[in-house]
Structure formats: structure tokens, C-alpha cells
Chains A and B, each alone.
Chain A
């Protein structure tokens, strides 16, 4: 390498964090927390992550809020448009577990599209969302399969 390039080496290095373009399909009160990510306090653009308007140029979709029939159609359509290496993040328990209350109609996000990461909370903190997006690139650790009390009790009646 020439000495001139040696001096400017830092500028030609690959970034240590992977750049992501994010399409936001946010609804409900969680949308306010998701919008917080591009505001000045948790400026997500300094991590190489940006929000875009078009699902065709994004590889990650953030979904939040209560999912009804029309919103479910919108999610499936936008998921088909996403770029390669499609990933979906579910924000808030409305999209993760349908709702806190047992209602007649329950559509979970996992019923519609494969979900890469879940963020519990109502609403979750913006830090939790940043952590979830950064953790997407880390290979998953194998966890032990556990049997849970609630499942056992449900199967016993």
C-alpha cells in the first residue's frame, strides 16, 4: 500500500456496523416511540441505520400497533416488496401478542410474516429498539428448550 493510502486508511475501511434501511409500518401509540428514533435524542442515523419511505429500498420492517384486517393486508404486501435478507421486528405487545386483553379477533404479527425479533413492552423504550436492530446481525445463541408452567396448566385445563 502506498504511503498516501496508508495515511487515509481509516477512510477506506469497511464500517464496523452494517448499514440498514428501515421501512416503518408503525401504528398506535408505539409509533410515537418509533419516531423518537430519528429525533435528536436517539439519533439512529449515527449508527448507519436510516428510515426510508419505500419498502422496495428497505431490508428491515418495523411493525407496531394493533393489527386489524386492512393493516394485515398492508403488512403482507409490504413484506413482499422488501429487499433480499428480509427481516421484520415486532414492537410492542399489540403486534407481538395481539393485545393484552382477550378479544374476539386476534391477529398476531407472527401469524402473517416470519418475525426476526420481538420487543416486549407497552411501549418499549427507544434503546430497546436500537438494541434489537443491532442484535439482528449477531448470530443467535442456542437456548435450552424449557417447559413453562403456563403451557402445562393450559394443557391440563
Chain B
């Protein structure tokens, strides 16, 4: 390996580079002092970052118009999940037009990678990736989310109603 020495006068002087670097620092400092609203820093606990609608956050189980769970317990999401973190127990429904419904639906958030494969696999738009980021917890906190938390947590304000209509779905044969 050889060392290349460039005898250029411009390269041997480091002061102009330092001054231009300090210039950027002072420019940003003065801009931040007088234009506080344009500052890049997010004051996190007071301000919240606005995520785009396609952000993949905590799961949401959507509900029908009458408030019951839309999921038909077809197990496609549990099969597609790479982390193997969805547990479903299916049961027959009293209503003959509804084939099956889950009596228990659990997602282990300590194994989930928030990939969105469950959302893609679902044929009836029953599970979605929600807008909130995943919540940290102390040791021993509740990390396995059940139906009550997935469908009716306080953040959702009574549940997300899917736009897919039940009668249209039966006509299309899904």
C-alpha cells in the first residue's frame, strides 16, 4: 500500500473547511433560536409524531356494524405468520349465516415482528395493522393481547368498523 501525498495548496489548508463547518453550525443555531416551529427536534412526551395511515403498528380486530367481531376463525393469518405468534380457538355460532367465530384470539407481541402478513392473508378484512406504535412494558406486564384489547381498547373509541358489507360478501361467495 502506498501513501499518496497531494501537494495541493488548497488541501494543505484545513482552516477554510473548519470555518465552513462552523458556519453551518451557527446558521442552524440561529435558525433554531428564532424559528422555533421549524426546529427538527420533536419534544416527544409533549408532542407526538404523526405517522402515515399505512404505518404498521399494534393490531386491530375490526368489528361488524352490530359490534361483534368480524373474524371468521379461518386460521389463514395464523398459518401465514412467520413468528407463529397467533393463537385462535374457533367455535360454532348460533346464527346459521355465520359459519364460525373465534372464542379466543391471542397475539403474543413479544414474538410478533409487525410484518403485516396477517393483514395480507385475511380474506374478510378482519385484522389490520393499527396506527399506534407498539407499547413497551416493565417486566411482568401484559404482553399477550386478547380480543378485548385487540378490538375494543380505549384508543379505538368503540372499535374499527370495516367498510366491507356482510351481504355483499355473501353474494360474492367469500
- A interface with B by C-beta (< 8 Å): 40-43, 46, 93, 96-97, 100-102, 114-122, 124-125, 127-132, 134-136, 140, 143, 146, 148-150, 153
Contacts and interface: CB of A to CB of B under 8 A. Distances in A.
B26 interface: no
A37 to B, nearest CB: 10
Contact of B83 (A100, A118, A150): A100
Contacts, number: 99
Nearest to A115: B139
Contacts of B111: 93, 97, 100
A148 B138 contact: no
Contacts of A97: 110-111
B112 A120 contact: yes
Contact of A132 (B41, B42, B108, B136): B136
Contacts of A102: 84
A2 B139 CA distance: 47
A43 B104 CA distance: 42
A144 B112 CA distance: 23
B113 interface: yes
Contacts of B110: 93, 96-97, 118, 120
A118 B82 contact: no
B137 interface: yes
Given A40-B40, A150-B87, A150-B144, A117 B109 contact: no
B155 to A, nearest CB: 15
B166 to A, nearest CB: 27
Interface residues of B, number: 35
Contact of A101 (B43, B82, B106): B82
13 contacts: A43-B41, A97-B110, A100-B82, A100-B83, A116-B139, A118-B141, A121-B134, A122-B112, A128-B134, A134-B45, A136-B138, A140-B138, A146-B142
Given A40-B40, A97-B110, A150-B106, A140 B140 contact: yes
Given A149-B104, A150-B87, A118 B113 contact: no
Contacts of B89: 149
Given A118-B137, A150-B87, 12 more contacts: A40-B41, A46-B41, A100-B83, A118-B143, A120-B109, A120-B143, A122-B113, A124-B134, A130-B45, A131-B135, A143-B141, A153-B87
A100 B114 CA distance: 11
Contacts of A100: 82-83, 111, 113
Nearest to B103: A149
Contacts of B115: 122
Given A97-B110, A100-B111, A143 B87 contact: no
A146 B108 CA distance: 13
A121 B44 contact: no
